[in-house]
Amino acid sequence: MVDTANIKLEDVVIADKYTDGYDYERCEAGLWSAYNVIKKIRDMTHPTVVRDCLCNISVNAEFENNDMISLIYSGKTNDKYKRGMPATRYLFELESYGFVIDNLITSKENKPRHKLAVKDIEHFRISYHGSDFDDVILGLKLFATACMSQTKPNVCFYNADIRVAFSGASKQYAPPIDEVFGFLPEEQKKAAYAIHNKLDEIGCVRNCEGDATKYMLGKQIFTTIWVGERIWFLSEDEWWQKLVFKFNLIHLGQYASYLDECTESILQSIFAVGSCGHNKKNERCENGQKNCDGVMFEYQGKKHKKCTRYFCIFKDLSEQAILNYVRLIELEYEQRTK
């Protein structure tokens, strides 16, 4: 997960379009408070579902009145935000962090609160009664509005990165790369920067999605770099590794001969991936990837068709492997820009 910078109250500079006519100083304090409350939840809760509830409320609920100290949730959803409310046990867990949920109206009047399903809840009010921060509710609503201008609203909300509400913020959520790579062990950090610098050099645009930083070349994902304390697809005995690369080498067939110069680990990452084939009934390949046409190439006289879902995920961070990765990026870029 991206570790959001240590933002101070004096760092907050809100774009006018997000203050919505409210008192600026109050918005400033509220946004900073929201940042701290979300961080508090993030530091104590795993996975993201509690923050997911708070994000859903902040996007969809409306102020109860002009004092902006409570929100009313009535089940209505924003057309631009399609994520549903997680299970109610995560919703009510917000009360462990200073929130109060009351005025609860449900379709099952006699059903205990802990047994309610999301579909049973018709209405509730949420406010913040913690004594540590002011105007949290206002700040959350302001922050959610800013997040909705992003390509991935929930990601910047989960990370409490209130800089998306600052003047001049990009619509493509991408915190400074020094923050993304900051916690990595030195050798892994060196490898990460080597690949990032090459991707930056060829003009890729970053977009952060939790542990995954996606590098876009035009409208296509060129590379994904996973950075995290516990990358979700690694086994427990691999958690020492905080960095994994995925290169979308869709034109590998044009430069497959270069594989002769790659490390054995790189070759294994390529050839150990299952073959690809459409399931005509549901248009998914045998690995569950929808609309996967596979990557076709020939190497040492043998033809291959590999699934794009798992293809070219690399864990080798040796010096030679990094050199190979850089060259593979260059070769793929040459083919995509012909």
d(CA 2, CA 39): 12
Instruction: State the burial class of residue 22 (Cβ atoms within 10 Å of its Cβ: 0-12, 13-18, 19+).
Output: middle
By DSSP bridging, strand 284-285 and strand 302-306 are unpaired
**Token pair for 45:** 């809760």
8 A C-beta contact, residue 276 and residue 286:
yes
d(CA 288, CA 219): 23
The secondary structure of 294-320 as a DSSP string is -EEEEETTEEEEE-TTTTTEE---SHH
The reported pLDDT for the residue numbered 193 is: 98
The secondary structure of 79-115 as a DSSP string is TT--PPP--HHHHHHGGGGTEEEEEEEES-TTS-GGG
| Alpha-helix runs per DSSP H in the chain | 16-19, 24-44, 49-60, 88-93, 136-147, 153-158, 177-181, 186-201, 264-271, 319-336
The reported pLDDT for the residue numbered 287 is: 54
The reported pLDDT for the residue numbered 147 is: 94
Angle at which helices 186-201 and 319-336 pack, to 10 degrees?
Answer: 20
The reported pLDDT for the residue numbered 278 is: 54
Find tokens 């993201």 and name the residue.
48
8 A C-beta contact, residue 224 and residue 246:
yes
Note down pLDDT in tens along the chain; length 338 residues.
Answer: 566 778 999 999 999 999 988 999 999 999 999 999 999 998 887 678 999 999 999 999 999 988 899 999 998 788 888 888 999 999 999 999 999 999 999 998 889 998 999 999 999 999 999 999 999 999 999 999 999 998 888 888 988 999 999 988 887 888 889 989 998 999 999 999 999 999 999 999 998 887 899 999 998 999 999 998 888 889 899 999 999 999 999 999 999 999 999 999 999 999 987 776 555 555 555 555 555 667 889 999 999 888 777 788 999 999 999 999 999 999 999 999 98
- For the question of whether the overall pTM of this predicted structure is more than 0.85, the answer is no
The reported pLDDT for the residue numbered 309 is: 75
Nearest to 252 by CA among 270, 268, 239, 269: 270
The reported pLDDT for the residue numbered 205 is: 92
Angle at which helices 49-60 and 24-44 pack, to 10 degrees?
Answer: 160
The SS3 of residue 284 is strand
